[in-house]
Amino acid sequence: MPDTEPTAETSNKTSFEDDDDDDAEISSEEEDEIKRELAEVTFEELQKARSDGSDMVYRKQNVEKKNSRANKNRPMEISSKKPVSRFREVIQVPKNVSRDPRFESLCGKLDVDGFKKRYNFIYENTLPSEKKELKKLMRNAKNPEVVDELKDKMAKIDKEVKSALPKRTEKDILSEHKKKEREAAKRGKQPFYLKKSELRKQKLIEKYNELKESGKLEAFMEKRRRKNASKEHRYLPYRRPA
């Protein structure tokens, strides 16, 4: 009899110890769940729960699942909570696609010579006539701001005309050279292609002839001399102070 009692006690002890282990495991799982729930709860909801004095925790709503069909023949289910946008495309309208004629093969190729011949009147007639009108307006104008605006417009016109003149002279020189070489090739001579240095010389000759005819050669040469003298003056050594 005394031998059997302690065995019963030991069995009871072991059963109690197992129950304690199960309680410990359950409590740890509950703590993990509480932590997860608290991580998803917002700060405002926690403040409300504390002000009420209740220990309730509001669970965050489950994230809405992506729209999916149970069967491809069924219509798609969409939640009614999402508001419909005001602007929605009911009828598909064809969009206007902008095209750049410079890079479109449908518009054809650009003929530079033809373009310059057609619009040469802008530099020869239109812009000079606009300049004359601006001069007349400037004579009659008394407001200094208006005079400054007219001067700026005249300077722009002069700039456009000057920028167009060298390009035309270069094109004319090349076209004349090509004509001569074609005629020489018909006679049986080998064609000679104009170099950049030769082209520069021809342009300087053309400019010299234009200045001589207009009577501005002396002023141009004097301006060029002063410019060269100022360049040379930079490299002269300075005198030391006594």
pTM beyond cutoff 0.85: no
DSSP state of 74: S
pLDDT of residue 62: 47
Per-residue pLDDT at 170 exceeds 90: no
DSSP state of 105: G
pLDDT of residue 13: 42
Per-residue pLDDT at 152 exceeds 90: yes
**Nearest by Cα to 133 from 115, 112, 157:** 157
Give how far the C-alpha of residue 95 lies from the chain's centroid of Cα atoms, to the nearest Å: 23
Mean pLDDT for the chain overall? 76
CA distances from 25 to 38, 71, 186, 229 (A): 20, 43, 108, 100
Q: Which residues contact 181 (CB under 8 A, 6 or more apart)?
A: 191, 192, 193
Per-residue pLDDT at 139 exceeds 60: yes
Per-residue pLDDT at 121 exceeds 60: yes
